[in-house]
Structure formats: C-alpha cells, structure tokens
Amino acid sequence: MLNDLYARLLPPPLQVETLTLEDHGLTLDGQVTAPTAPCPTCAQPAARVHSGYRRTLADLPWATLPVCLSLQVRRFFCDTPSCGRRTFTERVPTVARPYAHTTTRASQAQCDTGLALGGAAGARQLARQGLPGSRQTVLRRVRGCQPAAGPAPRVIGIDAWAYRKGRRYGTIVVDLEHGCPVDLLEDRLAETVAAWLRAHPEVTVVARDRADAYAAGVTQGAPDAVQVADRWHLLKNVREAVEVE
C-alpha cells in the first residue's frame, strides 16, 4: 500500500527506502530502480557500476510540509570502445536536470508562481505552500522559462517602452488577440519597425499611437495592414477635444 502511494506521489523511476519526518520537513531516501543507464555521450546502455553518491533535491511539498529527496545515484563505466567517456553518473530526466538541486516539477512550480506574482511575492507564496526559496531563485526560474511558441500574431499593438526613462526607449510589440508580448525592439525608429513587420508578413492589423516614426514604419513594412489608433490614444484625443471646447 505504501509503495503504491509513493508511486503516485513521486516521479518515476524512484524506489523509496526510508521516510524520515524531521522538524524542517520530510526526507525521502530512495534510489533509481533501472538496472542499466544510457551513456550521455554514446547513448549505449551501461551496467557496470563504478561508484555511487547521494544527491539531494528539493521536491514539491506534501500538505505544505517541505519534502527533500535524498537519491542514491550510481556512477557507471561506459564500455563502448568508440566512446570517449569512461565513466558517467546516471541521469534521471523524469526527476531533475543534471546538477540541479530542485526537482523538475518543483522548478516548474517556482516558475509558474513567479510568472503570476513576480519575485518577492512569488517567494512568499511558495514559502506559505511549503516550497521555500528566495526571490532571486524565483526570478531565475522565470528567466530560464522557454514557453512553447504560440501562433503567429495577426493583430498587434506597438508602443514605446523605457529601458531607462527619459534616456533610452525601445518598442514593445503585443499580440492583441492573445494579450501577450511578442517582441521587444531596440529603438523607436521607423526602419526597425519596418524590418520587424517584413519578417512577420502575417500581421494584418496594427494598433499604434500617433508617432510619425511608427506610422512610417508600418507603411513601409506592412503596406497592406490596417492601421488603427489604440484605445488609450482615442480616449486621449476625445479628452483633448473636449478640453478645447
């Protein structure tokens, strides 16, 4: 019964040997059950064990109780004559990346929380849930996030944004249909906007402000696209017209 519970709560292919309840949380001692391991260089299976050591990983909490995995990992000899690697440590890709101190699923939870709440707030929320970590850790997970590529944007908005307010500005491109940023351009020049649009011929509608550079850039890069004033500038125009009256 207990092995079935471990199998559901832990990523495969781990076998838990002991469970220790301590003041700071749960510590699970386990090992990989596979009899062989593929060499990371030649991909050939190896069965001859060189040595072993303990690898400690922070995992997802159980009922807000922090969980630590202490894995006994093995070091194998690679007996393939043509392979340049003589020994290697077995990988557990379903559990954690090489050299990581956190399981893959715990790292993903940190990334998801950081994307939703940011660094400091995300770290506080994770600590309340039993997955402590600093704001720097949360932000590092966010920076390393590589989301799956979405559909090509058709309706976009472009506007200026500040690298440093009053000194250096770039251009942000937003997919208005999906409500997410698409790209950040280095400056606000018409040539830069035109080059980006030429590389994305699927764009059919561009919402922009009244800047002449953006108007020229869209005209040059996507002459068939419909140009519209964004909502903020429409309201700004209405307000200015009312104030004049």
Give yes or no: residues 205 and 137 share one domain. Answer: no
Give yes or no: residues 137 and 217 share one domain. Answer: no
The Cα–Cα gap between 16 and 68 comes to 12
Give yes or no: residues 39 and 67 share one domain. Answer: yes
Residue 149 lies in a domain: no
- Domain count for the chain: 3
Q: Tell me: the pLDDT tens digits for 66-84?
A: 999 999 999 999 999 999 9
Give yes or no: residues 124 and 194 share one domain. Answer: no
CATH number at 195 reads: 3.30.420.10
Considering just the CA atoms, what is the radius of gyration of the chain in Å?
26
What residues have CB less than 8 Å from 51, skipping those under 6 apart? 74, 75
Give yes or no: residues 92 and 14 share one domain. Answer: yes
The mean pLDDT value for 180-198 works out to: 92
Q: Tell me: the pLDDT tens digits for 115-154?
A: 999 999 999 999 999 998 899 999 999 998 887 777 889 9
Residue 3 lies in a domain: yes
Give yes or no: residues 14 and 73 share one domain. Answer: yes
Residue 211's pLDDT is 83
Domain that holds residue 63: 1-100
Residue 123's pLDDT is 95
Residue 2's pLDDT is 65
Give yes or no: residues 125 and 165 share one domain. Answer: no
Q: At CA 25, angle to CA 71 and CA 33, rounded to 5?
A: 20
Give yes or no: residues 117 and 199 share one domain. Answer: no
Residue 205 lies in a domain: yes
Give yes or no: residues 2 and 90 share one domain. Answer: yes
Q: Tell me: the pLDDT tens digits for 8-53?
A: 777 767 788 888 888 888 999 988 888 899 999 999 999 999 999 9
Proportion of the chain above pLDDT 70, given as a percent: 97
Residue 12 lies in a domain: yes
